[in-house]
Every structure is written in structure tokens, then in C-alpha cells.
Chains A and B, each alone.
Chain A
């Protein structure tokens, strides 16, 4: 346990002080990492805790980003309005998608979520006001209560870090609550939960929609970070990328997806410095992680018990 404490302490100090001693390039790199960690965390809520393997999470990520773009086109640029709207838009889309997809299970669920995401991808590719398949540049980051704080990369880093920390605590509350326990029961044996008198569908749908809200928020943050939105945010490889983070880190845990996002994106950054063909290393590495490290990186972590929720 002491090793674990020390690691957590170093980890938190590192991330809390990073913009103070780092250059702009690395601050922005880690801002992106934090945003992707938020996306991975939201996906893990559905996949790891809910047991619903969604292969279309890019739909909600991209919706958040496009909502940011849409509002800036109409001159609404304040983060206090735009970001909740982005999360809300993702929830609004997730509600029908979830309600329809949850009628199916297993491989069908994977494929229908993928199909819905592709539907939105092609819809966005056809939107001429957003530059169609080329995408669109945003003029500036959102303002915060009318002030242009977010222009400063260091400040924006802390905003992203704050959202990740907030989402982490929210998910911890959620998974430890009655709601989270019922969700865990459904994941392990849905028939039994139904026999116990739980209507499982509303729980699963609620989990799906909450997860979409967090994903939409991360999309809005990403649009602010890169100041660029394009259908590639909605592409199915984006969903795959997020799933990789979750599995690499360890699904069914909260620290896992965050760890996975950090490791995967840093690995991509480092490998791409050595060779432009870094994916030829990453691909087999993924297969090895799936085959031999079943709990992900978090599963390799020295600890007494794996986590309060066993990975499915």
C-alpha cells in the first residue's frame, strides 16, 4: 500500500504542477491527454461498469465538439452556456440511440452502436455549414463568464484537469452508490437482477446517457483545445482509440482508463518521434496486452485486492 500511496502522490503532484515548469508544447500535449482520459473514463462507465460494449462513443464526443462549433457560429461563445449545451446535446442524442441499441445484446450491440456512430459521421460529413468532410476552424476558445481566460494554455490545462478530477469523483460516487451496485449486478447476471424485481432497462439507459454527457463534455473541451472540428472526431477509429485506452488501462476500474489514456498517448508521442511507422509497434503491442495482461496496466499494479468491482 505504501508504494501505491507514493505513486499516487507523485502522480498528482506531477499533474498539478506540470504547466508551472513545462513548455507550451508539453502543456498542450498533456491537456489533450487529460481530455482523452475524460473520454476514456466516460466510456469505461458503459463498458466496464455497465457491461455494454459501445463501439460508437465517438458519436457523443463528436456531438459535443460540433455543438461547440454550432454555437460559436451563432455567436454564443461563453463556456458557461456552451459546455452544458454540448453535454446536453450528447445526452439528447444518446437517449434514442441507447433506447434502440439496448434492445439488442452482445455482438449486435457492438455493431448497432457502431452503425449509429457512422450515421452521425456521414451526417456531419454532409453538413456544408461546418465545412462538410473538411471540417471547420473555430475562431477562438470559449470565453469564461465574458473573460478570455481560456486563451492561456496553462489555464486551459487546469480547466481540463479540473473536469477530469470532477468526473473521476462523480464516477466514484456513482459506482459506489445503489445505482452503481445495481448496474454491477446487471452486468454480472441480468436475468437474476430481473428476477429480483429490478427493471434493468432504465438503469442501463441512464448509465449510457450519463456516459454520453461526459463524452460530449470532453468533445467540447477538445474543440476548444484544437480550435478545429471535423468529421474525423466522429470516425469509428476514434471509438476504437477510446476503447483501447480503456482496455489498456484496465476496464471496470476508474484509475484504469485514465492510466490507459496517459500511457497510450505518451507512447504514440514517443514512438512517433523514433519512427513514422509507430503503428507497426502499437498494433502487436495491443494484441499482447489483450492476450497476456487481462486486467490491463492497472491489473499489474501491486495491490491487495484488484478493485471493488471485478472486471467482467
Chain B
């Protein structure tokens, strides 16, 4: 493999990994804090993309579309949490899988009714749609670099939020002992709603960023949802740090798999990776400490 192709694919893998990280971190946060397996996370990703696509048509601006759709997705996530998911935190995982599977059916059909079955395409604004030269012979789309930047920025921001703010402290405390946090006078229900909103924002953001690269269509959230699950299982459920490393690992492995392996094998590759990791370490690479 020549170095130009290698670097291009490495960047593609990193970009894909960063997208996966945005999805996976919300999932793992919700699992770690509320002990909820949320299959409907892919639906929030899809709704984010649809909000952004619609707002882009209305406002004519990609940036405004993103800025306005994030609060919309957060609001949607919080409403879903308050209406349905809140009641599932103390249920076993099977109930959660099933109820959130019901949410997937609902949202897919809702989108089909409101937006129709055809897919949407989001156009990139002028300043994001060209290529830059990284070094001689290697040009790369600016937009994909922006995605990498946004993802890394969000990762750093989350690290700061979790480890250096009061909200982050409450989130960490809620994850390790919810009764104690509640007894100390923290409104744990509200905290959960906030965490769910945060997860929704990250999923929605991933959907919006994916809009211009992939098509915005019904069911777009499911393939990436399953991959995000692979990521959090490899990384260790509940660990944001694990989600980051596993996301990049899966992104890069998947991208190189597609280049090097025959088509059928390539899609299998990351599942083989996951099975191998789980056989070696049944709790994932960075198991979250629970007390």
C-alpha cells in the first residue's frame, strides 16, 4: 500500500472513528449512569439529521441548521426520557431492549409519515466543500477534517465536563451510587434527564455531521447504532475513555478492512475483532470501575 493511500485511509478511519465516538459516548454515558440499554439512540441520530436537513432548507445556512437542531434534539430526547424511558431504569435489560426497540419502530414510521420515504441530501456550504493539501500528493476534504476536529473537541470538552465541573461530579457520583447521591439531596431524576439530553445532543450532532456525507434517510441510525454498541462493548460499557479508544480502533479497523479484505469479509471484520476482545477480556478493554 503506497503512503498516500495509507494516510488517506488513516484519516478516513479516524473520521469514522470520531463519528462512532460521538454516538458511543452518549450510549455509554446513559448506560453507565442510568443502567439503560438505549436502542433508540440511533433514532435520535436520525432525528438530528432530519432536523438539520429541514432547517438547512428553511434557513439556507448549514451552520444555523446545526446550531438550531442541537437544542431540538436535546428537547426531543428529554421528552422521550420523561414520557417513557424514565420508568425503565430499574427494569432488566430485556425490557429496556424491547421498549426502545418499540421507539425505533415509532420514530422510523414517524419520519416516513412526516418527511416521506425518499432520502434527503444535505449540501455543504462553499467554505467546507473543497479539498486541502496536507502534504504534496495528499489532498483531503476539509469537511472530514472538520468532523475530526469537532469530535476531538467534543471529547476534550466531555473530559473537562466529567472531571472538572460540578455536573460532572454529580454524573460520576450518580454512576457509582445513585441512592447515596439521592440521599445527599441531589435531584437524581432531573440529573438523569440532563444526562439523557446530553446523550441526545451527541447523537444528534453525529447525525447532523453525517448528513452531508451519507444520505439522510429512514433507518439511517440503525447501522451506526449497532457499530456504536460494538464500540462500547469493546471499550468497556460505561467508560467514556474506553469508548474513545475503541471508537478509533473500530473506525480504523473497519476502514482498512474495506481496503484490504474482500467485500463480505470486510463488514465481518469488526465483529470478529469484538468477539476476539470479549474472549480475551469479557468486560471490555477499559472496564468502568463500579463500587
A residues adjacent to B (C-beta < 8 A):
47, 53, 55, 100, 103-104, 106-108, 110-112, 114-116, 118-119, 122-123, 125-127, 236, 240, 243-244, 247, 251, 277-280, 282-287, 290-291, 312
Q: Which residues of B (25-81) have their CB < 8 Å from a CB of A?
A: 31, 37
- Closest chain B CB from A226 CB (angstroms): 22
Collect the chain B residues with CB atoms within 8 Å of residue A103's CB: 278-279, 282
Residues of B with C-beta under 8 A to A114: 226, 229
Q: How far is the CA of A157 from the CA of B99 in the complex (A)?
A: 33
Dominant secondary structure at the B interface: helix
Complex: how many Å from CA A236 to CA B39?
Answer: 12
Number of interface residues, chain B, beta carbon within 8 A: 46
Contact B102 A285 (CB under 8 A): yes
Is B205 positioned at the interface, with any CB of A under 8 Å from its CB? no
24 contacts between A and B (CB under 8 A): A100-B279, A108-B233, A111-B229, A115-B230, A115-B271, A115-B274, A116-B275, A122-B271, A125-B267, A126-B262, A126-B263, A126-B264, A126-B267, A247-B95, A251-B94, A279-B105, A280-B110, A283-B107, A286-B98, A286-B105, A287-B103, A290-B88, A291-B84, A291-B99
Show the binding face of B for A, using Cβ within 8 Å: 31, 37, 84, 87-88, 91-95, 97-99, 101-110, 112-113, 222, 226, 229-230, 233, 237, 262-265, 267-268, 271-272, 274-275, 278-279, 282-284
Contacts known (A107-B31, A108-B237, A114-B226); A280 close to B282, Cβ less than 8 A: no
Query: What are the 9 A-B residue pairs with the smallest beta carbon separation, nearest first?
Result: A126-B264, A283-B106, A286-B102, A283-B105, A122-B267, A280-B109, A119-B271, A279-B109, A290-B99
Q: A118-B271, A312-B92 are in contact. Are A284 and B106 (CB under 8 A)?
A: yes
| Residues from chain A with Cβ under 8 Å of B94 in the complex | 47, 53, 243, 247, 251
Q: Which residue of A lies closest to B276 (CB)?
A: A100
CA distance A244 to B283 in the complex (A): 27
Residues from chain A with a CB closer than 8 A to the CB of B229 are 111, 114
Tell whether A112 pairs with B105 under 8 Å between CB atoms, given A106-B93, A126-B263: no
Tell me the minimal C-beta distance from B276 to chain A in angstroms: 10
Bound complex: CA A294 to CA B278 (Å): 32
**In this complex, what residue of B is CB-closest to A118?**
B271
Q: A282–B278 contact, CB under 8 A?
A: no
Taking CB atoms, residues of chain A closer than 8 Å to B263 are 126
CA distance in complex: A126, B101 (Å): 27
CA gap between A286 and B97 in the complex, in Å: 11
| Closest Cβ neighbor of A102 among chain B residues | B282
Contact of A283 among B88, B103, B282, B284 (CB under 8 A): B103
| Residue ID in chain B nearest A103 by CB atoms | B282
A123/B264 contact (C-beta < 8 A), A286-B105, A287-B84 known: yes
Chain B residues within 8 Å of A240, by CB: 97, 101
Residues A127 and B108 in contact in the complex (CB < 8 Å), given A100-B275, A100-B279, A103-B278: no
Known: A107-B37, A110-B93, A126-B265. A286 touches B101 (CB 8 A): yes
Nearest CB in chain A to that of B280: its residue = A103
Given contacts A115-B230, A277-B109, contact A290 B104 (CB under 8 A): no
Looking at the assembled complex, report how far the CB atom of A97 sits from the nearest CB atom of chain B, in whole angstroms.
9
Q: Are B110 and A290 in contact (CB under 8 A)?
A: no
B273 to chain A, nearest CB (A): 9
* Chain A residue contacts of B108, Cβ below 8 A: 279
CB pair A287–B264 under 8 Å, yes or no, is no
CB contacts (< 8 Å) of B97 on chain A: these are 53, 55, 110, 240, 243
Residues B275 and A282 in contact, CB atoms below 8 Å apart = no
**Interchain nearest-CB distance for B247 vs A (Å):** 15
- Chain A residues lying within 8 Å of B262, measured Cβ to Cβ, are 126
CA distance A312 to B91 in the complex (A): 11
CA of A178 to CA of B98, assembled, Å: 31
Q: Bound state CA distance, A243 and B93, in angstroms?
A: 12
Partner of B113, one of A247, A277, A283, A287: A277
Taking CB atoms, residues of chain A closer than 8 Å to B267 are 122, 125-126
CA distance A243 to B97 in the complex (A): 9
The residue in B101, B222, B263 that gathers the most chain A C-beta atoms within 10 A of its C-beta is B101
Given A106-B93, A283-B109, A286-B99; 14 other pairs, CB 8 A cutoff:
A53-B93, A53-B97, A55-B97, A114-B229, A115-B274, A123-B268, A240-B97, A280-B105, A285-B102, A286-B105, A287-B84, A287-B99, A290-B88, A291-B99
- When distances are taken between beta carbons in the complex, the residues of chain B under 8 Å from A118 are 226, 271
Contact residue among B102, B275, B284 (Cβ-Cβ distance under 8 Å from A284): B102
The CA-CA distance from A152 to B132 in the complex, in Å, is 66
